[in-house]
Amino acid sequence: MLAPNKLDALIVTSPPNVRYLSGFTGDNGALLLSDGATALFTDPRYEIQAAEETGCKVIVARGPLLERLMTEVRRKHLRRLGFERDRISYREYQSLDECLAPSAGLQPVVGAVEQLRCLKDAGEIELIRRSMQIAVRAFEQAAGRVRAGMTEADLAAELDHRMRTGGAEASSFETIVAAGKRSALPHARPGRAPIREGQLVLIDMGALADGYASDMTRMLYLGEPARKVRQLYAAVLEAQMAAIDAVRPGVPAALVDRVARRTLRGYGFDKLFVHSTGHGVGLEIHEGPRLGRHSQDTLEAGMVVTIEPGVYLEGFGGIRIEDTVVVTSSGAEVLTQLSKELRVL
Ligand code: ZN
Ligand code: ZN
């Protein structure tokens, strides 16, 4: 990363990037990467943990972290310094700038570590697989207990609890449970209204285990689904499976998005699909590559992405089906080992 950007050093401040490069999982750390040397700066609370987790040289700062880091920069006469433009606060930037030697300069770097993180090694894929298994098990345990009268918030809490007791350290994002008309809000917050007969229930959830996220969406229906629900569901399912079929190395991510949209257009539902088809998953729930209309990314073996087309009808409800999949050398491996049929309760 240093040579192509003509840098003497790169300062990494975002926790997932620090974790990815060093193994350090604490939330106050910064890395100084220079030719052949990487130092992790943290505060005294993390002294023992940092020594256990990372092979980098650990420097414990007694005062502000970035000021201590800049002392090291001056001591080593590092002049061209990259920093993570999209991951740093204005205050942190000021503190780097104030400590800069007159002959040195700061250069914004965008997405360098994120680019590396797009490609997962076998160990990372195993962690995501496990995270997905925890989410799937929690879903199966909780879905069987859904009854009319239960609130969206109750069901979300049940799913979160089961993920935690199943081995997750947290949910990978705020669990979405949206019933009836509210399922037309792609990112609804679980509410206090009871789930009723004759309602669609959208559940979008994922676990965080050993730092790695998973992401899935499934649909329940209480009662006998009307024909319109069945039609919409069948179209989304066909789009989702067609998009997974399109996943393979060398394929533009935008093409996978196009395949999902084209399938929905065949049923006249493409206008109801208001978001992109998917996103990368790893240390963060949303990371590269992007599977959208305007994505410039190309799929490569080792990427882990979601495939999640959906349709949303105001006043009626929404349907989304989402799996987390690994791009393999020949296609896609679906990590979400769970039936995609509409679950009728
Ligand atoms: Zn999701
Ligand atoms: Zn997602």
CATH assignment at residue 316: 3.90.230.10
Which own/partner contact pairs does 38-44 have at CB distance under 8 Å and 24+ positions apart? 39/69, 39/72, 41/65, 41/66, 41/68, 41/69, 41/72
CA 122 to centroid of ligand 2, rounded, Å: 22
Main-chain dihedrals φ then ψ at residue 304, nearest 5 degrees: -120, 120
Q: Which residue is it, tokens 């533009």?
A: 252
What's the total number of domains in the chain? 2
Report CA-CA distances (Å) from 217 to 48, 62, 97, 125.
39, 45, 44, 20
Q: Is residue 209 part of a domain?
A: yes
Q: Is the pLDDT of residue 316 over 90?
A: yes
CA 260 to centroid of ligand 1, rounded, Å: 16
Q: Is residue 80 part of a domain?
A: yes
Rounded-to-integer distance, Cα 262 and Cα 242, Å: 10
Taking only the tens place, the pLDDT of each residue in 112-126 is 999 999 999 999 999
Rounded-to-integer distance, Cα 77 and Cα 172, Å: 41
Taking only the tens place, the pLDDT of each residue in 17-48 is 999 999 999 999 999 999 888 999 999 999 99
Taking only the tens place, the pLDDT of each residue in 242-276 is 999 999 999 999 999 999 999 999 999 999 999 99
> Sign of the CA dihedral 232, 237, 242, 244?
positive
Rounded-to-integer distance, Cα 234 and Cα 121, Å: 35
DSSP SS3 for 16: helix
Rounded-to-integer distance, Cα 117 and Cα 16, Å: 10
Are 227 and 288 found together in one domain? yes
Are 239 and 105 found together in one domain? no
Beta 170-171 vs 176-179: how paired, if at all? unpaired
CA 150 to centroid of ligand 2, rounded, Å: 25
Domain boundary among 117, 144, 163: 117
Are 107 and 194 found together in one domain? no
CA 266 to centroid of ligand 1, rounded, Å: 25
Are 106 and 148 found together in one domain? no
CA 192 to centroid of ligand 2, rounded, Å: 24
Domain boundary among 117, 150, 176: 117
Are 129 and 198 found together in one domain? yes
Taking only the tens place, the pLDDT of each residue in 154-210 is 999 999 999 999 999 999 999 999 999 999 998 889 999 899 999 999 999 999 999
**Share above pLDDT 90 across residues of the chain, in percent, rounded to a whole number:** 97
CA 289 to centroid of ligand 2, rounded, Å: 12
- How does residue 4 score in pLDDT terms, banded at 50, 70 and 90? confident
CA 57 to centroid of ligand 2, rounded, Å: 36
CA 226 to centroid of ligand 1, rounded, Å: 25
The CATH code of the domain that includes 80 is 3.40.350.10
* All residues at 6 or more sequence positions from 238 whose CB lies less than 8 Å from its CB, including other chains: 263
Residues, CB within 5 angstroms of ligand 2 (ion)? 215, 306
Which residue range(s) make up the domain with 93? Answer: 9-117
Beta 317-320 vs 323-327: how paired, if at all? unpaired
Q: What is the pLDDT of residue 35?
A: 87
Q: What is the pLDDT of residue 300?
A: 98
Ligand nearest to the CA of 217: 1
Q: Give the pTM.
A: 0.95
**Share above pLDDT 70 across residues of the chain, in percent, rounded to a whole number:** 100
Tokens of 59: 């420097």
CA 321 to centroid of ligand 1, rounded, Å: 9
Q: What is the pLDDT of residue 288?
A: 97
Are 173 and 104 found together in one domain? no
Are 76 and 109 found together in one domain? yes
The rounded mean pLDDT for the chain is 96
Q: What is the pLDDT of residue 36?
A: 82
Identify any residues that bridge with 82 across adjacent strands, giving them in sequence order: 10, 107
Report CA-CA distances (Å) from 345 to 196, 317, 319.
11, 17, 16
Query: In one letter, which amino acid is 218?
Result: R
CA 22 to centroid of ligand 1, rounded, Å: 28
Report CA-CA distances (Å) from 343 to 56, 223, 319.
49, 10, 12
CA 325 to centroid of ligand 1, rounded, Å: 12
Q: Is residue 3 part of a domain?
A: no
Beta 37-42 vs 57-60: how paired, if at all? parallel
Residue 168 Rama label (left phi>0; alpha psi -120 to 50; beta): beta
CA 76 to centroid of ligand 1, rounded, Å: 45
